[in-house]
Chain A
Amino acid sequence: MTTTRNTKGMLVAAVCLQFSILIGLTVQPVMTLTTGKVVTLKTLPVDPYDMFRGDYVRLRYDMSNMQVTPAPKNGGAVYVALTPDGEYWKARSASSEKPVLREGEICIKGIAKKTYNGFDLHFGIEQVYVPEKTGKKIEQAKALSVALAVDNNGNAAIKKVVNGSETVYDADNILNLSPQLRPLR
């Protein structure tokens, strides 16, 4: 009887661990989306579709293959200083150490992954899921821009993706009880 009670307690603890992991996954992007400063970047869409999870668009940014000084470790943190440039923001510098920011600048944090000819910088904003059968159209978009929420620690989350004048993804819908997003025509 005691053994059964112990097993029950341990199973409850294991399920609690599962929920802690799920909540842990959710907290940071929600905090970033709700408290982060919004910056808008130009982006380039590439090869969408994930067999198991439907349409998505992979996004590539100018800062994704910037030269990093001093050179980062493989898998190490990188910091990119973003500076406003008219309607959009652009990357000023990339460093493996936290940069000294100028007035009005913001810092975004990423990870450096070694490639054959240098490093690819990943910021966790390289893809966006879109309604079914809309990925192909977005892939061909000429003027795609992404509004990012960036918190004080440099964590970023995608807040909005705009194709020309059309919003194709809006994170404000995440906690709404009924989704507002309309599929592209």
Chain B
Amino acid sequence: MSIPTKLNVALAKEIESWAKESIISDEQAKVLLARYPAKHGGAHAITLVTIIGAVLVGLGTLLYIGANWTGMATIWKLTIIATAIVASHAAGWIFKFEPGNRPKLGTAFLLLGSLFYGGAIWLIAQIFNIDVQFPNGLLLWLIGTAACALTTRSVPLGILASVIFSLWTMQDLSNWSHYSSNDSMQRIIGIAAGLGAAWFMRSQAMAWIILLASSAWVAFESGCYAPGVLFWGIALFGGYLAIQNKDLPLESPLKYVGSCSALAALLSVTCNRMNWGEINQTHYAATLGAALVVHGLLLYKRKDVRRETLGCLAIIACFILVQNNYNETVRAIAFNAMLLASLFALAATALQKLHSPGLLNTALAFVVFDIICRYFDIFFSMMDRSMFFILGGIILMVGGALAEKGRRQLLGSMES
């Protein structure tokens, strides 16, 4: 079993002390130490330094070529960058995979190769005056980098691909009304492929980057606003329910990005009461469809999470009903009730069923955010500014102390 480096170091010290105190025999200590071989805490730092070195070399080379473009013939620029791509990948291969060499240096060279490849795309775009926004440039860079990441199973390359994915999803297309159905389909396929790649490479870092970027896209670029974010969050949370306790890298990102997205969407509708613009129906349908499919499958396949799944489906149904109600008071009351019910349900599930302190903390954090929002809603225009802040501060301090006390009691009961 793989355990974190810090725990590994602590465990080795503990085993040594147990052996010294004769709690276990020397033989048993050897067996245990062999089961958890020593990890060196500096390994990550060395990898990081090597990778930063590769990034700096890549950037420096590209800036050199870019800055000297009037003084260098095009054919030479292309030759230099093509040679750099091949040489970096070859060196990466030799150092990473040939016996007796240095895998971390190999990874750095592979990363450099993909940076040079990205540089080559922009260089060609510059030579032939291809559009400065060039959305497909990032997509082409992503495809080439992802191909190398998947073939070598190199996590740093996967992380580079995830960062390019984030840039691609979030790049300025000015407004969702500029999106064609082709753009939408590309992004939806991209999100699915990115999550699949994170799963394949067993990389939690990739999953975090892809899910955060996808959520940011749904929230700010897709044009489906709070409803889309809510459905998207519920779909991700359903994904978490499906894979919980299986020690998979997607578990934590799905759990937290999903629950935070859904709760943030509910909180936002209690604050601005549907002040969003015209909704992009394609993206709205896609996020709603994703949530319904995930929870439909869960309902069919997983009886152990039926209560949670029905709760999520109830939130979706209530939201759609309330969203189409034009009475502002009814909407405000209903959205607040939905938020409170969701927070209570999440806390109860985290406590009783999922045994997840992180989810409990998430629910309590949103309780605090809700208190702050309601305080601003009710008192901002009613009170003198100084009184508003003094009273607000007191409420937060008391509320924070009570919340912390309650949180400790809940966590204590969870542990017992």
Residue numbers of A with Cβ under 8 A of B are: 4, 7-8, 10-11, 13-15, 17-19, 21-22, 25-26, 29, 50, 52-54, 56, 58, 73-76, 113-116, 122, 124-129, 131-132, 157-158, 173-179, 181, 183
Contacts and interface: CB of A to CB of B under 8 A. Distances in A.
B50 interface: no
Contact of B85 (A18, A54, A75, A181): A18
A86 to B, nearest CB: 26
B179 A21 contact: no
Contacts of A124: 130-131
A26 B124 contact: yes
Given A114-B177, A122-B131, A126-B131, 7 more contacts: A13-B147, A18-B144, A25-B121, A25-B124, A50-B132, A56-B129, A128-B129
A11 B129 contact: no
Contact of B75 (A7, A128, A158, A175): A175
Interface in B41-72: 66-67, 69-72
| Most chain B beta-carbon contacts within 10 A, residue among A73, A125, A174 | A174
Contacts of A8: 93, 97
Given A29-B128, A52-B66, A177 B85 contact: no
Interface stretch (B20-28, B180-188, B240-248, B364-372): B180-188
Contact of B127 (A21, A74, A75, A174): A174
A74 B179 contact: yes
A129 B126 contact: yes
16 contacts: A11-B89, A11-B148, A18-B147, A53-B66, A54-B69, A73-B180, A75-B180, A75-B183, A114-B178, A127-B129, A127-B131, A129-B127, A174-B127, A175-B74, A177-B76, A179-B72
B86 interface: yes
Given A21-B144, A25-B121, A54 B66 contact: yes
Contacts of A175: 74-75
B148 A178 contact: no
A29 B74 CA distance: 14
| Most chain B beta-carbon contacts within 10 A, residue among A18, A19, A75 | A18
B61 to A, nearest CB: 14
Contacts of B152: 7, 10-11
B143 interface: yes
Interface string B106-127: 0000000100010011101111
B131 to A, nearest CB: 6
Contacts of B126: 53, 129
B272 interface: no
B151 A183 contact: no
Nearest to B89: A15
B249 to A, nearest CB: 21
Contacts of B140: 21, 25
A52 B69 CA distance: 13
A74 B180 contact: yes
A14 B76 contact: no
A159 to B, nearest CB: 10
A74 B180 CA distance: 5
A180 B97 CA distance: 45
Contacts of A157: 128-129
A74 B129 CA distance: 23
Contacts of B183: 75
Contact of A183 (B66, B70, B125, B175): B70
B398 interface: no
B31 interface: no
Given A17-B143, A21-B121, A116 B177 contact: yes
Contact of A14 (B66, B74, B127, B147): B147
Nearest to B176: A114
A119 to B, nearest CB: 10
Interface string B260-285: 00000000000000000000000000
Contacts of A177: 73, 75-76
B97 A7 contact: yes
Contacts of A114: 177-178
Given A4-B97, A114-B177, A128-B129, A14 B148 contact: yes
Nearest to B130: A124
Interface in B145-161: 147-148, 150-152
B82 interface: yes
Contacts of A125: 129
Contacts of A181: 70
A183 B126 CA distance: 17
A14 B153 CA distance: 12
A17 B147 CA distance: 8
A53 B127 CA distance: 11
A166 to B, nearest CB: 16
A124 B134 CA distance: 10
